[in-house]
Amino acid sequence: MILVAGSINIDFAVQVQALPAPGETVMGSAYLVSPGGKGANQAVACARAGAPVQFVGCAGSDAYGDQLREALQSDGIDTTSLRRVDGQTGAAFVTVGSDGENTIAVASGVNQALREADLPELNGVTHLILQLEIPLETVRAFAQAARRAGVHVTLNAAPAHPLDDELLGLVDLLIVNAGELEALCGAQAGAGLEYQLEVLSGRGPKAIVVTLGADGAAFWTNGRCHRSAAFAVQAVDTTGAGDTFVGVLVAALRHMDLTAAVQRASAAAALACTQRGAQISMPRLSAIERLLA
């Protein structure tokens, strides 16, 4: 069983020609309302890739909370640890440009209510996936408990945030995008990628994957840097690509090594770029396998 702990949000997305500059208003037409949140997205990506998944998080007492719970359940995800909390469900306001790039502002709502006490029993859990849209102290407590129980810990250090070595030392697999890597690198910010990965790995994580958008991914394992190309697709919306990558990567690690798992995650993330939305654009195992064939 894979346990995903993190945020669950309702996403409001508007498509525009060019992303607005500060102070600028740009006009779009229709908007899309869809389930999101890095935690919930990664849980869905994992489940669609064929893994048994349990989600732990907090949904609000508004109608969105119930809607999001049902969305997870429809993907076969165990939601017994999704706590209903009085207050607003988290919400993300997404702007998508014509080139598929996006900007996102998130109102955390009750995602900030997730506490150490929410962690369910870890019996039967082999992998834990965490991100940074919930309180940092909860992330730390969950990682510590997982480490004690011998559970493999993946931290997707997103959104960008500097982290201390104590937390990094609890992480088996660290996954970041280029901006998040810079935020973690401190004195090494702006240095070459390979050097940054070497220094970062010295702070604790056993393996590190950096996603590089259309340039694919780089990963550090066993003291070496490797590259993996992206799959060529017509990208219309990259929202959820990073989350798809994380969820599918960890689902794949149950059966294969990091090199093969990164390739599988890249295929899934590329497919997620070909449709609008976060969870609704995430591929199923059959589509991933067709692209890999």
The residues that are catalytic are 243
Pick one of 184, 185, 217, 288: the residue that binds ligand ADP (CB under 6 A): 217
For position 269 contacting ligand ADP by CB under 6 A, the verdict is: yes
Instruction: Count Cβ atoms below 10 Å from residue 12 Cβ, excluding itself.
Output: 15
Q: Under the criterion CB under 6 A, does residue 193 sit at the interface with ligand ADP? A: no
> In this chain, which of 266, 279, 281, 283 binds ligand ADP, going by CB under 6 A?
266
3-state secondary structure of 3: strand
DSSP states of 110-129: GGGG--GGG----TT--EEE
Which helix (H) or strand (E) segment holds residue 269: the answer is helix 258-272
Q: Do 62 and 89 touch, CB atoms closer than 8 A?
A: yes
For ligand ADP, the closer CB: 145 or 285: 285
The answer to whether residue 14 forms part of the interface with ligand ADP (CB under 6 A) is no
Contact by Cβ (8 Å): 176, 195: no
Minimum CB distance to ligand ADP smaller for 87 or for 213? 213
The footprint of ligand ADP on this chain (CB under 6 A) covers a number of residues equal to 19
Interactions with ligand ADP, residue window 131-190 (CB under 6 A):
177
Which of these, 41, 59, 70, lies nearest to 110 by C-alpha position? 59
Candidates 54-62, 200-208, 219-227, 268-276; binding stretch for ligand ADP (CB under 6 A):
268-276
Question: Could you say which residues in the range 33-92 bind ligand ADP, by CB under 6 A?
Answer: none
Q: How far is residue 84 CA from its own chain's centroid?
A: 22
Q: Is 230 in the site for ligand ADP (CB under 6 A)?
A: yes
Residue 76 to residues 47, 54, 165, 213: CA-CA distances in angstroms? 7, 9, 36, 29
Q: Which is nearer to ligand ADP, 65 or 205 (CB)?
A: 205
Q: Is 13 in the site for ligand ADP (CB under 6 A)?
A: no
3-state SS of 90-111 is: EEEEEEECCCCCEEEEEECHHH
Residues at the site binding ligand ADP, with contacts judged by CB under 6 A = 177, 211-214, 216-217, 230-231, 233, 235, 238, 241-242, 245, 266, 269-270, 273
